[in-house]
A and B are shown apart, each in its own frame.
Chain A
Amino acid sequence: MSAAGADVVIIGGGLHGCSAALHLARAGVRALVVEKNYVGRHASGVNAGGVRTLARNEAEIPLALAALELWHHIGELVDDDCGFESFGQIRVAENAADAAALQQREARLQALGYSHERWIAADELFLRVPALSRHCVGGLIALRDGAALPYRTTAAFRRKAENLGQIFLEGTRVLGIRREGNSWVVDTSAGTLSCRVLVNCAGAWADAICAALGEPVPLEAIGPMMLVTLRMPRFLEPVVLGTGRPLSFKQTAEGTVLIGGGRLSRVDRGLETTELDFRELAASARTVRELFPVMRGAVIHRGWAGIEARMPDEIPVIGPSSTAPDVFHAFGFSAHGFELGPIVGRITAELITTGASALPIAPFSIRRFAGHAPD
């Protein structure tokens, strides 16, 4: 098998790999995506679907805001609305300490020139989230944030990339990479591929590629757990986040309620399985019960976790390899990469086609882990 003239091989068929393939196609560069399972198998297909600029690490804010513009016109990019709805996201303060922290954050962001997070007092909070327990005192709102359907989104990026001529090899495992002259050779379970440029979008498995390139990274495979209820009548529009305790809470268009927030399952990266920790989920349930009394009798009927990569500083690795030519990374999104998907693919395509990105990506350089010893 040959790469059929592809210039770029992208390892990993998650949202970021699919987005890179799509943006490369738009730039006229042929790419091939190698995916060991099927597109969207892990975190990309089963995350909470939050389209969130709220509560971002400051380094990520420029990217998140640029991505949000793409989300608001996502249909123009991928010919599918991806189930995107913009009802805002709100981070609630449950006490004075939470409120002080959130108001300080608002002030800091304003000083940096950002206005997408705004403090709202209790009366506006309860107007926007009537079902919220009355002990809450206010919150930070990002009005243009929202949520989308993760698997549908990933599938839409893939479909559009494919329609523009990119190739997806599913059920194909990367066994090794090597340099031959000015080319990269990728040995896969379905044969050998050759290309000019390699893109590492391998998510929780991306560190193996980095190690092969001689730039090991301290990546941890995590599985943020989620629960979903049976359908309930509509009682909630915005996505609600916790401040002092982990919670992400949203009601989907069909009425089911999705409970997440970063409590972690046990992960077996080799077997690609996760095992839920019900004591941790019980803690989530307690948070929900306290914040939303309406949920007491809600029926939980499925829990799961999607495997993804977390970096120690909880921001991704984006940009060129520090050791090898013509290799670019986009991984380690640390449980908040979904919203960034549309923009990071564009950044990767820009880096490949022009050598630079208009957005500030220096904080995401792999160089920050230089000196990390492999496990």
Chain B
Amino acid sequence: MTLASRYDILVIGAGPAGLAAAAESVAMGLRVALVDEQGAPGGQIYRAITTTPVQQRDVLGADYWYGEKLVAAFERSGAGYSPRTTVWAVTREADEFQIGLSCDGGAQLIRARQVILATGAQERPFPIPGWTLPGVMTAGAAQILLKSAGLVPGGTTVLAGSGPLLYLIAAQFTAAGARVECLLDTTPAGRWRDVLRHAPDFVASPYAAKGWSMLRAAQRMMRIVKGVEQISAIGAGKLDGVRFTTGGHTQDIPADLLLLHQGVVPGINLSNAIGCAHHWDAAQACFTPTVDDWGATSIPGITIAGDAAGIAGARSAEARGTLAALHAASALGHLRTAQRDAQAVAPRRELERWNRGRKFVDALYLPAPEFRIPTGDTIVCRCEEVTARQVTETVALGCTGPNQMKSFLRCGMGPCQGRLCGLTITELIAKERGVSPAETGYYRLRFPVKPITLGELAALPQTDSSVDAVVRIKR
């Protein structure tokens, strides 16, 4: 679809939050476009739901296929939709926002009065020795290969880490007939005791039953090693095996695929670069945009919905997408406060239901410090190949924060723009200095938040006047 030059609301990201936000906005009669990097709607949780070759429905499971309903509602809504579209900048322009985006190798600038970021989550960096070797990838990446391409692990596969997604993926592989050699669970031994106070809430949550059945299924199908304290990927030029330590005992197992997962964290590159306020969320050990209960950020006109505003899962994201749309419509003067609040009752009820049990999950699966804060020669910044030792040595030279560290070591300055090292760098500096991650802060991120070619940038229109003239005539 060709994007217009102006919208009332631009929604970025076609996961559950973005789909719900766009559908709700358009239902209120607003001019809305949803832009998304992928070729089809669904985000990562419902990735490829309209195109997946995996049609045997029990492989991906009912929670995945639930997304069909959401996508169908979005498609019926008639909201503008631009797939394969990457947003690389959002800047203020008078009382609107100017959005720089690229589609099919062409860049353009469009405007919107309200922007809803529904940019989702990414897997938390899991820096262990050897994690850059070919053959090591995130568990989520393997799940994407399953959903989008029907590819499953075919050799000797080891899953490692912690969190519900790890067991879900194990179950999906098993259902697809793929073999997982071993699951190395890094949930610290004894963590269960610490989190029992949150257990009643979890037991009452919709997640409990699924959680137990996944655990039981995994235990039947593969070797599970609990309380893993250390993991290394071994190999030269490619993965040959995995070394792990549990109960003080170290062993090596052969592997040609190691899938890592240590939970997910909000993707904050866009909200950070826009200048929205963020804070350190100690329960989830990550930086999170600071939002109110509509998703409104510190910058009027920028609203964040879904996991990008704090991890709470797909069904919560859907409710938060609706709330963000109601807020944006109200900010546009399209909806009176009383109407907004009345329409928010149902999504708030959903949100409460799906947030139940979250504290338990967060507390149980908060990754152990040794899997967040590496030491020695372990690579921290994958792009610039900066090690933990280099970072700690630079702290000793008097470098106090991530932005200075960038200047010293170039960490965070490679193509991923800190997505795979930012949290690690913050926590590493904080630990070395004996201060909190909140005080240490995070990288200042810069546009373009996704790379664009010089040719694309050069092809942007010279002035806004021609565009403006056309719009004024139309109005």
Interface stretch (choices B183-191, B312-320, B322-330, B404-412): B404-412
A155 contact set on B, CB distance < 8 A: 404, 407-408
A122 to B451 alpha-carbon distance, docked (Å): 34
A40 to B398 alpha-carbon distance, docked (Å): 13
In the complex, are the beta carbons of B457 and A295 less than 8 A apart? no
| Count, chain B residues at interface, CB 8 A | 35
A295, A296, A300: the one within 8 Å of B452 (CB): A300
B464 contact set on A, CB distance < 8 A: 279
B125 contact set on A, CB distance < 8 A: none
B100, B404, B451: the one within 8 Å of A151 (CB): B404
* A286 sits at the interface (CB 8 A): yes
* B92 sits at the interface (CB 8 A): yes
A282 to B461 alpha-carbon distance, docked (Å): 8
Q: Is the interface of A mostly helix, strand, loop or mixed?
A: mixed
In the complex, are the beta carbons of B410 and A276 less than 8 A apart? no
| Count, chain A residues at interface, CB 8 A | 36
In the complex, are the beta carbons of B453 and A296 less than 8 A apart? yes
In the complex, are the beta carbons of A286 and B458 less than 8 A apart? yes
B100, B400, B454: the one within 8 Å of A38 (CB): B400
Known contacts A273-B275, A275-B92, A289-B454: does B407 contact A300 (CB below 8 Å)? no
A277 to B454 alpha-carbon distance, docked (Å): 15
* A213 sits at the interface (CB 8 A): no
Interface stretch (choices A61-69, A102-110, A301-309, A344-352): A301-309
In the complex, are the beta carbons of A301 and B448 less than 8 A apart? yes
In the complex, are the beta carbons of B401 and A38 less than 8 A apart? yes
* B109 sits at the interface (CB 8 A): yes
* B54 sits at the interface (CB 8 A): no
* B462 sits at the interface (CB 8 A): yes
A159 to B399 alpha-carbon distance, docked (Å): 11
A282 contact set on B, CB distance < 8 A: 457-462
In the complex, are the beta carbons of A288 and B454 less than 8 A apart? yes
* B455 sits at the interface (CB 8 A): yes
* A375 sits at the interface (CB 8 A): no
* B86 sits at the interface (CB 8 A): no
Known contacts A275-B91, A278-B98: does B453 contact A303 (CB below 8 Å)? no
Instruction: Please give me the 8 A-B residue pairs with the lowest Cβ-Cβ distance, nearest first.
Output: A151-B407, A285-B458, A282-B460, A285-B457, A301-B451, A286-B458, A298-B454, A299-B451
A149-B407, A230-B451, A279-B109 provided; 10 other pairs, C-beta below 8 A?
Answer: A38-B400, A155-B407, A230-B414, A254-B410, A278-B109, A279-B460, A279-B463, A282-B458, A301-B451, A302-B413
Interface residues of B (CB under 8 A from A): 89, 91-92, 98, 100, 109, 275, 397-398, 400-401, 404, 407-408, 410, 413-415, 417, 446-448, 451-455, 457-464
